[in-house]
Chains A and B, each alone.
Chain A
């Protein structure tokens, strides 16, 4: 030891806290008026009235005084210093990009394998006291390994890490790494990615503390960047149209072949000649079968994950519904609509003649102002103007003069329907949201707001409740928006079990029945689904199984030969920290001692308060 001292001489003023404590104890002899925001919560508490006490130093007082003394002593930061020539233990934080573009093939190997090999070699150079931390950056940031000196564990965690089919969001991972580096002096941050520093999302000044190793050069990639499946409602699979967008990201022209299969049957092959960084669209018509849509590019390029895309062509049928309504004109209008599609069928049943057998054989039921005791045995049911007090669509009363104030444009019922805000209703049932559904369109009158359209699943069947009744002339132009909403609801009811289309890395709400599905991450409350692999996934749900089609449609990932705006490919290595003389700082020990005393004081205080 060569000496001792205090690092914060001004901290001695902290000892004045002892005097403050004494003053506070003295003040307790008087009743204090304590201002609070409100008393309405306090008045619900049955607490005893305060009692007057005279100040006598108690064990609690002496304990608190001791805590303050120890904390004040810690605040002045006393230390003992000794001579040393040794170096500090090194810390290495490896940030590994695990996004889809890291699966690109380079002449030397796959980008991700090159990055992992570089990380392994860096870990191998660490000393036995050195620590390493691993952070991966895909669509989300993960920490496979916190600070650890166990190099074998670090190597194992690296081997377990793989590149995913997801976009890159490097910023949060970098911010985490920089926060760690700031909190632990001498930490070396190594970033292994194919992105240039200019796309990091972090200020250039912060990046001077980062060693940036950019991996990969090739731009040889052709990818499918978008698929649109257009399926007319109540039409069979043969009427579907598929639009495929293909782009060449290379700086040289390419020829590729697009191969399409539908429902396991070969559909079409198209030769595409693409100029440098040009794109093309392909429209496919008359699919041979319904089912999984598989698109593949025969490109032999560097990145395979965007050479394939998936979709789904549903096997729909014409409008087939049983209808209960008192309005003959409405039934006739719906019949005319059904007749517009070959095979369409509308069967009208009077409310007094209704039996569950009347709906047998139909896919949908439309019940206007009528709710039977047993739900219809159809795939889906649309209730119009449900009467108050029914068991399915709870409604309290009938309200006049209702206009639309809000709606969920992402709900499939409203797909392709615009102008909802212009919808006004002379009269509607004031629905409330049942446990099985959610509000899709919200309306309001002069004095209240309530859902106009509720949709959801109950008893394994889709159900929609529409607050207003359709008029006798639903095809009149004034009533057309409401009819379109009703037809949208019928289309959605008929689509029960339709696959969910997602992009990889994006979180979508999902009612899951299991937690472990390969290629898919399910988490959160309410649960969300994040596809980490592109393809067709079969995800168990409470009602059975749901098909999810996941694609990587990400321009930034497919553009694997990105041009950097600054010194791309240059690895920057910050200078190593210089060893400092070894100093034994008593601050931590004093704070620990203060904390222990605080716990004892707290326990004592709790016992007295309880008494």
Chain B
């Protein structure tokens, strides 16, 4: 599918209609720029939702006094409102060769997910910036988008995400973090097919720059259950081209599943350790169900 057709597919109204009325919420991602995301616990002098009342003490701004309460109660009370801030969402898309293995199409799933989250964030007037992580530490970064009308631009940027090279995810995230300052939300969509220590290196760099991190692990069904697509043959690494001959017996299959389980458990532990969110998207399954199901259960997506 060409980039233009891919962009049109990402903007399919029937698909995006599912995300109307949703909003993204990631704790710790709110910056200082005024916006529409309410930040409970952060009190402002102005706003829509009253956060707390407290007795007036000398030194308080008299503009924040509740004169109606004074008229009724003869007591000076000061109103504090829940602060409203903009959240900057950075969608970091792994476009390495491992994401485009024939028959697995993880990149398409990652693109569709990134489009869905960008659409939700733009509809809630948050800012969205896409970054495509390319081979050898190169990146293709977009300017910040701030309105729903920017959705076609985001779709074009995501549709053009393709590389085919080898990517060192940890180094790429570290380099990106060095160029961008938080706070904000860094959502990394990748197959995370690298050593967990390498992923951790990148996540810690993001956390140190005050980003709330969401790791979306895009996996192909054949990676979880290789029995579906493979009995025996020569496996070829999509990024390095190295080959490995194998025949899947029941024992080998059980051992592979244990290895994959250990890898997934290590990623989950990494997320818990670094206070990041972790979710797994199986390529080929419904991205809409993933957004309104798995991500909603994580607390990342909710109704406005």
Interface residues of A (CB under 8 A from B): 28, 31-51, 228, 230, 241, 243, 280-281, 283, 405-410, 414, 416, 418, 439, 442, 444-449, 606, 609-610
Contact = CB atoms under 8 A, between A and B. Distances in A.
B246 A49 contact: yes
B239 A281 contact: no
For the complex of A and B, the 8 pairs showing the least CB-CB separation, nearest first, are: A409-B41, A47-B252, A37-B98, A38-B193, A32-B233, A50-B232, A444-B208, A406-B28
Interface string B81-116: 000000000000000001101101010000000000
Contacts of A281: 69, 72-73
Contacts of B42: 409, 418
Given A40-B195, A45-B252, A439-B275, A283 B247 contact: no
Nearest to B248: A47
Given A40-B194, A47-B246, A283-B73, A31 B207 contact: no
11 contacts: A34-B235, A36-B101, A37-B99, A39-B237, A42-B256, A44-B255, A47-B256, A48-B247, A241-B55, A281-B73, A405-B210
B53 A45 contact: no
A49 B53 contact: no
B233 A34 contact: yes
B152 interface: no
B280 to A, nearest CB: 14
A365 to B, nearest CB: 28
Interface residues of B, number: 64
Nearest to B247: A50
Nearest to A169: B303
Given A39-B242, A406-B210, A410-B41, A34 B252 contact: no
A283 B238 contact: no
A241 B54 CA distance: 10
A37 B208 contact: no
A373 to B, nearest CB: 29
Given A37-B104, A50-B246, 15 more contacts: A34-B230, A34-B233, A35-B101, A35-B235, A36-B237, A38-B194, A39-B242, A39-B244, A42-B244, A48-B249, A50-B232, A50-B245, A405-B207, A449-B208, A610-B250
Contacts of A442: 207, 275
A449 B260 contact: no
Which of B208, B230, B239, B259 has most A Cβ within 10 Å?
A: B208
B212 A406 contact: yes
Contacts of A406: 27-28, 207, 210, 212, 275
A34 B263 CA distance: 22
B77 to A, nearest CB: 8
Contacts of B101: 35-37
B182 interface: yes
Contact of B40 (A43, A409, A444, A610): A409
A162 B255 CA distance: 51
A273 to B, nearest CB: 12
A35 B194 contact: no
A47 B246 CA distance: 6
A41 B191 CA distance: 13
A449 B275 CA distance: 10
Contact of A449 (B39, B204, B247): B204
Nearest to A406: B28
A37 B238 contact: yes
A492 B114 CA distance: 41
Contacts of A228: 52-53
Interface in B215-235: 220, 223, 229-235
A33 B233 contact: yes
Contacts of A445: 208
A28 B40 CA distance: 61
Contact of B235 (A39, A407, A409): A39
Contacts of B46: none
A408 B28 CA distance: 8
Contacts of B231: 28
B245 A610 contact: no
A31 B27 CA distance: 51
Interface in B35-54: 39-43, 52-54
Nearest to A30: B233
Contacts of A38: 98, 191, 193-194, 237-239
A48 to B, nearest CB: 5
B191 A44 contact: no
Nearest to A282: B73
